[in-house]
């Protein structure tokens, strides 16, 4: 496994962009972490999952990867932890099984939400509420990067504890 400092350098080198960016929250930023760049790098993604493994609580039944960036992370984290994964859509599909979470049941199971980058936590909050409405038990979230833009505090208002591998300032 990579050292924490080396892993931080690799993530930054692979995914840190500068320019003018509009974030999901609508805020603008002159720097951006393009998570798809680190998720598309198999050795780096593996090392990220290995580093996230200690943040997975013992009482979790299932990892819940959020569409789209949380899915590859959840899959690789599943490989290193042995936990099953669910793939969570932003909205339940309107055809076929009409599921919000693919890959199996969630009712009565303790899910750990897996996300790539958190800014304000808006999508995580929406997804957690929808999963809870379907019977999932959720109280924790893990991510690779916390942009330190109020996401942890916003998640806490919904009784969600955030554990980030890195904060933006650490990178």
pTM for this predicted structure? 0.93
Tell whether 14 is covered by a domain: no
**Half-sphere exposure of 156 toward its Cβ, with a 13 Å CA cutoff?**
5
Tell whether 29 is covered by a domain: no
Tell whether 31 is covered by a domain: no
Q: How high is the pLDDT of residue 109?
A: 98
Structural domain containing residue 107: 48-170
3-state SS of 88-153 is ECCCCCCCCCCCCEECCCCCCCEEEEEEEEECCCHHHHHHHHHHHHCCCEEEEEEEEEECCCCHHH
Segment 74-78 shows an average pLDDT of 98
Per-residue CA distances from 84 to 68, 106, 109, 134, 142 (Å) = 17, 11, 11, 18, 16
Tell whether 132 is covered by a domain: yes
Tell whether 111 is covered by a domain: yes
Tell whether 149 is covered by a domain: yes
Q: Alpha-carbon dihedral of residues 54, 55, 60, 65, nearest 10 degrees?
A: -120
Work out the mean pLDDT of the chain and round it to a whole number. 94
Choice between 135 and 2, residue whose per-residue pLDDT is larger: 135
Domain count, the chain: 1
């Amino acid at each position: 496994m990579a050292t924490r400092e080396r892993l931080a350098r690799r993530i930054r080198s692979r995914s840190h962009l500068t320019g003018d960016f509009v974030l999901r929250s609508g805020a603008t930023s002159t720097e951006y972490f393009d998570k798809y760049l680190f998720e598309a790098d198999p050795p780096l993604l593996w090392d990220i999952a290995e580093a996230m493994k200690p943040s997975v609580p013992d009482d979790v039944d299932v990892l819940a990867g959020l569409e789209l960036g949380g899915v590859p992370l959840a899959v690789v984290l599943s490989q290193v932890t042995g936990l099953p994964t669910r793939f969570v859509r932003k909205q339940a599909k309107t055809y076929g099984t009409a599921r919000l979470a693919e890959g199996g049941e969630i009712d009565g199971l303790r899910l750990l939400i897996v996300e790539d980058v958190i800014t304000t936590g808006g999508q995580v909050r929406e997804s957690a509420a929808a999963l809870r409405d379907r019977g999932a038990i959720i109280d924790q979230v893990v991510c690779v990067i916390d942009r330190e833009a109020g996401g942890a505090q916003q998640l806490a208002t919904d009784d969600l504890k955030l554990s980030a591998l890195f904060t933006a300032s650490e990178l």
